[in-house]
Amino acid sequence: MQTRQLGRSGLKISEICLGTMTYGQQTDRADAFAQMDYAVAHGVNFFDTAELYSIPPRAETSGSTETIIGEWFAARKNRDRIVLASKVVGRTAMPWFRDGAEARLDRANIFRAVEGSLKRLRTDYIDLYQLHWPDRPMVLFDGLSNAYEDRGGPDGVSFEETASALQELVAQGKIRHFGLSNETPWGVAQFLRVAEAGVGPRPVSIQNAYHLLNRQFEIGLAEFAFREQVGLLAYSPLAQGFLTGKYLHGARPPGARSTLFDRGQRYEKPGVDAAIEDYVALAKEFGLHPVHLALAFVTSRPFVTANIVGATNLEQLKIILDAPHELPPELLRRIDAIYQLRGNPAP
């Protein structure tokens, strides 16, 4: 397992990050422990979680993933071996995070969120603390293109207030570094601006969706990742399992995430099936598992700091961690030819 530098932090993280959002619903405690043990044994030193998890978000399972990870730390006595990332929810009306009040990215909310995560994770510090999504009103997980539109209403908490709160937490030693998630080029620029003005820490990473069905990161954010060392932590490299081909033509296998939770609308848009069919056929032509094609493409991109993989059970994780980390030039050219034809059908 190769390691890469996390922004300008000096931290070395494995190029594969263990995503944990299923722990506490689809993945029970025993299997979660087995996954974490297996990942560490195979060179993974970077875990990603969030106060939001497990997924789908529900009041009764809120924080369950962090709790399981905290129990694993307590059992294994290895907190110092793991680079741990978690997240604070962005602006949301989900009432269970803040006792019925709307969660925001202001100082009071951020401090409360950090304390809750530290307690559940059974640790004194979080290596990378991320803003799960922006506070300002914007299109994120709906629509056909995620194109910007003015949604009206009050604007977000100021970048200065959010950044100042994070700086306080760094000074207190409760977080070491901060990162962004589901952010735009403009949002990254604003946090860099306030950091350069001496208000708050500099973001070291951005966690956005990036996969064969959604390469929008390449358009505006890849240059930020390269020039400003705000590296991509790519989530959903398998497009929630759609890139395996198991959901083609409306199929819903028993026990699969979209079967259980009906949350795959992001990947049920016009043109998605055609693109998946092309990529699955290409993998077969080159003698690759479709999972390995999709994962290796993401891991090999020069602006990707870590590829966040997730599995609902240990057997899936074994297949995932067996993926190559590079692809031959001819295969990359063929991927780009499909992309030229199919574009980004699932932003």
Instruction: Assign 3-class secondary structure to the chain.
Output: CCEEECCCCCCEEECEEEECCCECCCECHHHHHHHHHHHHHCCCCEEECCCCCCCCCCHHHCCHHHHHHHHHHHHHCCHHHCEEEEEECCCECCCCCCCCCCECCCHHHHHHHHHHHHHHHCCCCEEEEEECCCCCCCCCCCCCCCCCCCCCCCCCCCHHHHHHHHHHHHHHCCEEEEEEECCCHHHHHHHHHHHHCCCCCCCCEEEEECECCECCHHHHHHHHHHHCCCEEEEECCCCCCHHHCCCHHHCCCCCCHHHHHCCCHHHCCCCHHHHHHHHHHHHHHCCCCHHHHHHHHHHCCCCEEEEEECCCCHHHHHHHHCCCCCCCHHHHHHHHHHHHHHCCCCC
| CA–CA gap between residue 72 and residue 120 (Å, rounded) | 11
Tell me, yes or no, if 53 is annotated catalytic. Answer: yes
Other CB atoms within 10 Å distance of the CB of residue 258 = 19
Pick the catalytic residue from 23, 53, 235, 279: 53
Q: Which positions are annotated as active-site residues?
A: 53
